[in-house]
Structure 1
Amino acid sequence: MSVAGEFAALYGARPEGVWAAPGRVNLIGEYTDFNDGFVMPLALPHTAVAAVSRRTDGVLRVHSADVDGGVVQLDVDSLEPRSGTGWAAYPAGVVWALREAGHPVTGADVHLASTVPTGAGLSSSAALEVVTALALDDLFGLGLSRPEIAVLAQRAENAFVGVPCGVMDQMASACAAEGHALFLDTRDLSYRQVPFDLAARGLRLLVVDTRVKHALGDGAYAERRAGCEAGARALGVRTLREVDAARLSDALARLSDETVRRYVRHVVSDNHRVERTIALLDAGEVRAVGPVLTEGHVSLRDDLRVSSPELDLAVEAANAAGALGARMTGGGFGGSAIVLVEEAAAEAVSAAVGKAFAEAGFTVPGVFAAIPAAGARRL
């Protein structure tokens, strides 16, 4: 049954519309977005789909085809941040954020279904937030721009759900274009669509889902954000974006806390890796991006310390089997890695990663090609 058909079965009438918003994979630039830095995500074909109708009685009803349990019913006037509504906090948080911003959202019936793997570092939560925001923007005629939708979705996750994420995931879901990567400056939300047709160059970008669920609400993400903010204060800058990569050694010498020093080194160097990557892509040197990815993984593993044994093995096995480069992607502590590989070698590299996981006694990973897809849209 279609999402619209499931909606009708749940709520007794057809929805006013159906919308979709994708998950994302981040090519380069990790933990840089809350430091006003650069990132380069691309949208995946995997989407969260929402069938939605307006209500005028202040009732919000949400249901997910992917979560056990019935319809969750909430009063929009009573929505409170961190109120423990489980998965429903994501769409409910969007309604709360819209109303907090003064938008007249008077209730809705929502039915959701998603193909974005959860806990895989592919922004399943951002997809839920953005699809809900886009649907409500359309239905209530709010006239929001795509960056405004992304910022409101981020506010839902930060303030309502309680995860202090940056804005990259929501911007990727809301603004990405098919066949392109999104080169985003998170300081001012300016962005450029960068052609990223790997197939035309005989290349493929693989996503290796380690099947190790990560949870960004467990404090590790917040601790690293706090450490980055402490580093900025110690260096007398508003954010680490203001630290020049060419003067990084001087900046690090001024930091006495070893943990903060590692975090600062990662963020400043990863910002520079995004700049190097965009220069390579603009020059058509796509294969040269591979070593930059691997360099980024080393930084995430050793300086930020957000990798895991499974992510490290995925990167090591892929590179040993002939990949051009690889790194963990997303928040870490599990989730996924990406692998840039010659198309002719994709199957062999995938098999090598699977064999390495089996020999290590790890769960067999899921491997699929990341094909740059369209951002959020009405279906």
Structure 2
Amino acid sequence: MNGGVWAAPGRVNLIGEHTDYNDGFVMPFALPRTVVATVTRRDDGLLRLRSDAVGTGSAVDTVELRVDELAPGRGPGGWSDYPAGVVWALREAGHRIGGADLHYTSTVPAGAGLSSSAALEVVTALALDDLYGLGLERQRMASLCRRAENVYVGAPTGIMDQTASACCVEGHALFLDTRDLSRRQIPLDLPAYGLDLLVFDTRVKHAHSDGAYGRRRAGCESAAETLGVPALRDVPYAALAEALDRLPDPGSRALVRHVVTENHRVRRVVALLEAGEPRRIGPVLTASHTSLRDDFRVSCPELDLVVSAALAAGALGARMTGGGFGGAAIVLTERAASAAVTRAVESAFATAGYRAPGVFGARASSGALRLS
């Protein structure tokens, strides 16, 4: 095989935020919005990366690199570090990659908390896996993509985004235990219940590699060490009050409270969906947002406004999704109320003087695949 076309989706995290790097539980599903890569194999050691507005803000951007010169800290920076990092991670793992021409297009909004970077990584890995006959299992592929982002790009993300892009199944959310990487597909057919899940892109950009994200991760690790547990996932929900009493710092207590209660919320949503009661997940989503806003402190005024305006207009539940500091919020609503909820959020943004948000309906879609 010398070439082809592959696609990998962005994702919405239904519930389970900032739990993945705490060995906790997450529940993403794949979006119908994807990064598409048209790829041709080459064996001269040249990696040519071409982007049609994959997070660059420009119409076309082309980068050429030598695969044997790839190393953390030596890339040009920007969007090309993500696919270059995947090639580096594959080669570091012992896979012989001789080079490739990769041309990317994307419908995943960059910086919206919908994992455009993970989609870019996974589509690169899937294409090279096919072209070079690497035989990678999907979870292994996701792990290598995460290593590319952690080490090559320098963003301290967890495993959720890459796993979602690689492993999700259409019509399902992915219940993932980020400690042992066991996963279960949970039916998520909201239209069958007369429900819509709306995604509001606030158009406020964020960057996972900045200090705010890293400080929270370090704070969680420090709190786990103080509590004498491997990770905050090991603090039982029933023992939360006792654990909080052992932490002298208010900031640490807030981080722990969010992670422990968020893991509990993920399990609650799994139970409700498996029981065929998707409407009842609404208040759980809203409670997640409150925790992310008040305890983890990763929301922003635009995200808070989406949530408050949607709920005031009759939405069943709403919360920010993704790492925070901008990005997107999701809103669960009756289908009959979707238009009114959308108008209410858009009106609230206009009144506040904010740029109009992007909005689209989300449905649980397929993970990465070859198109041709």
Q: TM-score, normalised by structure 2?
A: 0.97
What amino acid is aligned across from residue 52 of structure 1 in structure 2? V
Paired residue secondary structure (1:297): helix
Letter in 2 for 1:189: L
Runs of 4+ in 1 over 2 A off after TM superposition: 67-71
Aligned partner of 1:255 in structure 2 is 247
Q: Is the 8 A contact 1:15 1:51 kept in 2?
A: no
- Matched with 2:324 is 332
Aligned runs of 1:261-340 on 2, under 5 Å? Answer: 261-340=253-332
Paired position in structure 2 for 1:71: 62
**Hey, what does 2:335 align to over in structure 1?**
343
- Pick one of 126, 146, 151 that aligns with 2:143: 151
Q: Give the equivalent residue in structure 1 for 2:129.
A: 137
Q: Distance in 2 between matches of 1:76 and 1:241?
A: 38
Deviation track 1:160-203 (CA, whole Å, cap 9, x = no partner) reads 00000001000000001111111111111111111111010000
**What's 1:208 paired with?**
200
Deviations 1:285-327 (A, max 9, x none): 1111000000000000000000000000100000010000000
Is this contact kept in 1: 2:2–2:131, CA < 8 A? Answer: no
Equivalent position SS for 1:363 = coil
Report the alpha carbon displacement of residue 78 of structure 1 after superposing the two structures with TM: 0.9
Give 5+ residue unaligned stretches, structure 2.
Answer: none
Post-superposition offset of 1:267: 0.5
Q: Work out the CA distance in 1 between the residues paired with 2:75 and 2:106.
A: 21
SS in 2 for 1:216: coil
Please give the per-residue CA displacement for 1:128-157, whole angstroms capped at 9, x wherever unaligned. Answer: 000000001111111111101100010010
Is 1:245 aligned to residue 237 of structure 2?
A: yes
Name the TM-score, length of structure 1 as normaliser: 0.95
Which amino acid is the alignment partner of residue 333 of structure 2? Answer: V
Asked if 1:236 is matched to 2:236, the reply is no
Determine if contact 1:79/1:92 at 8 Å carries over to the other structure: yes
Q: Does 1:102 align with 2:94?
A: yes
Q: Residue 116 in 1 paired to residue 116 in 2? A: no
Identity %: 67
Task: Verify: 1:16 aligned to 2:19, yes or no.
Answer: no
**1:328-370, CA deviations, whole angstroms, 9 ceiling, x for partnerless residues?**
0001111000000000000000000000111111111111111
| Distance in 2 between residues matched to 1:237 and 1:82, nearest whole Å | 33
Cα distance in 2 between the residues matched to 1:292 and 1:360: 27
Aligned AA (2:267) = E
Whole-Å separation in 2 of the counterparts to 1:134 and 1:74: 20
State the partner residue of 2:27: 40
Alpha-carbon separation, structure 1, partners of 2:217 and 2:130? 34
Cα offset, 1:29, TM superposition: 0.2
What amino acid sits opposite 1:18 in the alignment?
V
- Distance in 2 of aligned mates of 1:114 and 1:124: 8
